């Protein structure tokens, strides 16, 4: 009787752990072009930016237009200050030197960073140097890390540089094809553009509907995106644009995603 009971308990315990291991992992993502902390009212206010971020309790945040000790933003170390204000970890990489400081992209995360690197993207016609910040994040209860790419592409009218950047990012992500991956940021291109078509050779936009993020007062175009790969491994639980029209010149894009790929 004791042996049978122990065997039954073992089966129950084993079965329970198997169910837990098979559960999808849910992650909260935010993309936010913070305009170096300057709002539409002309005020520099990182506390306001941090309040917007905290309002949706994200796990990972891709930030664009981040200053680090730049004169126009009072020499503040914005990546470190935003990490402090949100109680998150941060990595920052510059793409250009600017006004005695550095300017680029940052990622805030509640998950530990395993590794990160910045890759400069193609630059044409003396445009601003752009980059993609590639992070590997350790997730709780998961053996595989999450690959998280944060970027901000060229803003000029011609697609030439953006298309080359999309090609470069696609090629870079191919080196990590076995990892679940998210690409997040200000792509300065719309859903119906050749640029998004190029990205969608490797990635899937996490929502079907148009979600305008600019102009910030009355948005009519979506240029901020969250994309995922591999196809079929991610389920969108929620996606929306935050109703914030003062803190920056972009509205933030927020999504809750489930990674359903088996261990």
Enumerate long-range contacts of 52-55, CB under 8 Å, 24 or more apart.
52/242, 52/244, 52/247, 52/252, 53/82, 53/86, 53/108, 53/252, 54/85, 54/86, 55/242
pLDDT for the residue 178: 86
Pair of tokens at residue 109: 């995360």
Pair of tokens at residue 67: 């200053």
pLDDT for the residue 231: 83
- Superfamily, domain 25-259: Endonuclease/exonuclease/phosphatase (3.60.10.10)
Bridge partner list, 236: 257
Measured between alpha carbons, how far is 51 from 247 in angstroms, rounded to an integer?
10
pLDDT for the residue 260: 80
Give me the half-sphere count of Cα atoms (radius 13 Å) on the Cβ side of residue 244: 24
Three-state DSSP at 254 gives strand
Q: Based on the number of CB atoms within 10 Å of its own CB, is 94 exposed (0-12), middle (13-18) or buried (19 or more)?
A: middle
Give the torsion through C-alpha atoms of 147, 152, 157, 163, to 10 deg.
-20
Instruction: Note down pLDDT in tens along the chain; length 263 residues.
Output: 444 444 444 444 444 444 444 478 999 999 999 999 999 999 999 999 999 999 999 999 999 999 999 999 999 999 999 999 999 999 999 999 999 999 999 999 999 999 999 999 999 999 999 999 999 999 998 888 999 999 999 999 999 999 999 999 999 999 998 899 999 999 999 999 999 999 999 999 999 999 999 999 999 999 999 999 998 899 999 999 999 999 999 999 999 999 986 54
Question: Alpha helix locations (H) across 129-221?
Answer: 160-174, 194-199
């Amino acid at each position: 009787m004791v042996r049978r009971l122990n065997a039954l308990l073992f089966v129950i315990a084993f079965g329970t752990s198997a169910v837990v291991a098979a559960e999808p992992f849910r992650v909260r993502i935010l993309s936010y072009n913070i305009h170096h902390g300057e709002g539409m009212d002309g005020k520099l206010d990182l506390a306001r930016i941090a309040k917007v971020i905290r309002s949706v309790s994200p796990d990972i945040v891709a930030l664009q237009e981040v200053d680090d000790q730049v004169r126009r933003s009072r020499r503040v170390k914005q990546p470190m200050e935003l990490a402090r204000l949100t109680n998150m970890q941060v990595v920052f990489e510059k793409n250009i030197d600017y006004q005695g400081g550095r300017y680029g992209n940052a990622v805030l995360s509640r998950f530990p960073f395993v590794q990160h690197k910045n890759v400069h993207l193609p630059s044409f016609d003396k445009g601003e140097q752009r980059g993609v910040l590639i992070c590997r994040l350790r997730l709780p209860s998961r053996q595989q890390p999450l690959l998280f790419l944060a970027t901000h592409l060229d803003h000029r009218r011609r697609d030439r540089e953006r298309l080359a950047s999309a090609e470069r990012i696609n090629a870079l992500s191919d080196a990590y094809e076995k990892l679940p991956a998210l690409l997040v940021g200000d792509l300065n291109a719309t859903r119906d553009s050749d640029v998004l078509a190029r990205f969608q050779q490797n990635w899937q936009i996490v929502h079907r509907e148009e979600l305008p993020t600019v102009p910030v007062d009355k948005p009519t175009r979506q240029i901020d995106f969250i994309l995922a790969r591999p196809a079929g491994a991610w389920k969108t639980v929620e996606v929306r644009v935050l109703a914030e029209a003062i803190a920056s010149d972009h509205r933030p894009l927020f999504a809750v995603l489930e990674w359903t790929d088996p261990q």
